[in-house]
Amino acid sequence: ANVLRSSSTAAPYNPPSPYSGVSFQPHPHSLPVDGFVGAVGNTPLIRINSLSDETGCEVLGKAEFMNPGGSVKDRAALGLVKWAENTGRIKPGGTIVEGTAGNTGIGLAHVCRAKGYKCVIYMPNTQSQEKIDLLRMLGAEVYPVPAVAFENPENYNHQARRHAERLDNAACNFEGNRAAHIHTTGPEIYAQTEHLPGGLTAFICATGTGGTLAGVTRALKDLSGGKIQCWLADPPGSVLESFINRGVMERGGGSITEGIGQGRVTDNLAQDIKLLDGALHIPDADTIRMIYHLLDKDGLYVGASTALNVVAAKQLAVKLGKGSRVVTILCDGAYRYQSRLFSKKWLESKNLYQELPEHLQKYAVL
C-alpha cells in the first residue's frame, strides 16, 4: 500500500509496480490542510495535450474543478466570507446572503457549513436543476427568481440585499472576490509558469462577476511588469467583447453557457479593464464542440464556461505564434450541467446537436 508522508522531506516511495511512471512523490500538500477552507486553491496547471500538440503552442488549464467545492468560485466564496469576518460584518452564527448564478452559492454553502453560518441564496431561475439541488443538499435556503436585468429591482442581486437587510447578523454585497484572485490564483499561475522556458505569454478567461479575470490580470501584470498579455473571452449575448475591442456595447443573441457573459462592466472589472490587451468572441457551436473534444481526446469532463475558455486559449495561442504559452481557467466539471450538455434532445432544441462532428455525437447519451 502507498504510505502518506507528513513532510516534504520524505523519501520517494517507489516499490516495483505495474503502473510504470506512477509513484509517490513527496509534496508539501501531503501535510493535512485545515478543513474545507484549507483545501481551496493550489490547483495544478494541466497541459491540454491534444491542443498543445496540434498548435505547437502550450495551452494550459488551471484545474479549478479540483477545488473541494468543485469550482473556481470556492476561492471567491472564501474571500467573501473572510472579508465579512475581517470587517466585522458577520459574527458567529450569522447568515451569509448572496445573489449568484450558482457556483458562488455552492462555494458559500460549503464554506458556511464548514464555519457554522446560515446560507441564503437568490439565483436566476434559468440555472440548471443540478445546481439548485446541490445548494439545498448543502443546507442553503434557495430562492430561484425570474431572470431580469440588473437595473430591475427584482433582479436576484437586489432581492438578496433586501433579504439581508431584514435579518440581524447577516452579510451581503461582499467584497473579497477579486482580492481572492489577486492573492491566490494570479500568483499561483505566475509561480507555476515563470520558471518554464519563455515563461507565460498570455492569460485569457471569460467573466461573470469579473473577479477571476480582474484579479488574475492585476496580479500577472504586476508580477511580470506588464509583460504577460491578459485577454477576455466572451460568449454571445455579452457586451464586453465589443466594449473592449471597439468601445461600444453590442449585445446580440444568447448563450448556453452558465455563469459567464455580462450586460455591464461589473465593479470588479471596472478597476482593471484598462489593463486588458483584447477580447475574443466565442460562439456556442465552438464551445459545445470543445466540451466533447476535451472528453474524447483529453479525458476531461468540463462545463461550458471551461470549454469556451479553452477554445479562446487555443485561438489566442495560435494568434500569438508558435511556442507561445497561454493559461486559462478550467472553471468546473460538467456534472452540474450534464442533464443539458449531454442530452441529444436539449442540444437539438438549441440547434447545437448538428454542430457536433459525427464521431462525437455518441457522447450525447442522455
Residues labelled as active-site residues: 73
Residue 331 binds ligand PMP, judged by CB under 6 A:
yes
Angle value at C-alpha 304, between 327 and 318, nearest 5 degrees: 40
Q: Using the rule CB under 6 A, which residue among 332, 333, 334, 340 binds ligand PMP?
A: 332
Q: In this chain, which stretch among 96-104, 109-117, 143-151, 292-300 interacts with ligand PMP, using CB under 6 A?
A: 96-104
Q: In this chain, which stretch among 84-92, 95-103, 162-170, 278-286 interacts with ligand PMP, using CB under 6 A?
A: 95-103
Q: In this chain, which stretch among 24-32, 117-125, 221-229, 257-265 interacts with ligand PMP, using CB under 6 A?
A: 257-265
Least Å distance, CB 161 to ligand PMP, is 18
Which one, of 147, 149, 125, 290, lies nearest residue 206 by Cα?
Answer: 290
Burial of 336 (0-12, 13-18, 19+ CB in 10 A): buried
Alpha-carbon span 230 to 203, nearest angstrom: 5
Interface characters, 205-244, with ligand PMP (x: CB under 6 A): -xxxxxxxx-------------------------------
Q: Using the rule CB under 6 A, which residue among 94, 105, 235, 303 binds ligand PMP?
A: 303
Do 85 and 169 touch, CB atoms closer than 8 A? no
Which one, of 37, 132, 36, 114, lies nearest residue 336 by Cα?
Answer: 132
Interface characters, 305-324, with ligand PMP (x: CB under 6 A): x-------------------
Alpha-carbon span 44 to 21, nearest angstrom: 18
User: How many residues sit in the footprint of ligand PMP (CB under 6 A)?
Assistant: 20
Q: Using the rule CB under 6 A, which residue among 260, 313, 334, 341 binds ligand PMP?
A: 260
Interface characters, 67-86, with ligand PMP (x: CB under 6 A): -----xx-------------
Least Å distance, CB 125 to ligand PMP, is 16
Alpha-carbon span 154 to 158, nearest angstrom: 6
Alpha-carbon span 284 to 261, nearest angstrom: 12
Least Å distance, CB 23 to ligand PMP, is 34
Least Å distance, CB 212 to ligand PMP, is 3
Residue 171 or 205: the one with the smaller Cβ distance to ligand PMP is 205
DSSP string computed for 46-108: EE-HHHHHHHTSEEEEEEGGGSTTSBTHHHHHHHHHHHHHHTTS--TT-EEEEE-SSHHHHHH
- Give the list of residues 6+ apart from residue 149 with CB closer than 8 angstroms, or none: 155, 263
Least Å distance, CB 294 to ligand PMP, is 15
Residue 259 binds ligand PMP, judged by CB under 6 A:
yes
Least Å distance, CB 218 to ligand PMP, is 13
**How far does Cα 117 stand from its chain's mean position?**
24
Give the three cell numbers for residue 182: 489577486
Alpha-carbon span 303 to 331, nearest angstrom: 7
Query: Which residues 147-206 are close enough to bind ligand PMP by CB under 6 A?
Result: 206
Sign of the torsion formed by the C-alpha atoms of 314, 315, 321 and 325:
negative
Strand locations in 167-311, DSSP E?
170-171, 202-205, 229-234, 278-281
Binding site for ligand PMP (CB under 6 A): 72-73, 101-103, 206-213, 258-260, 303, 305, 331-332
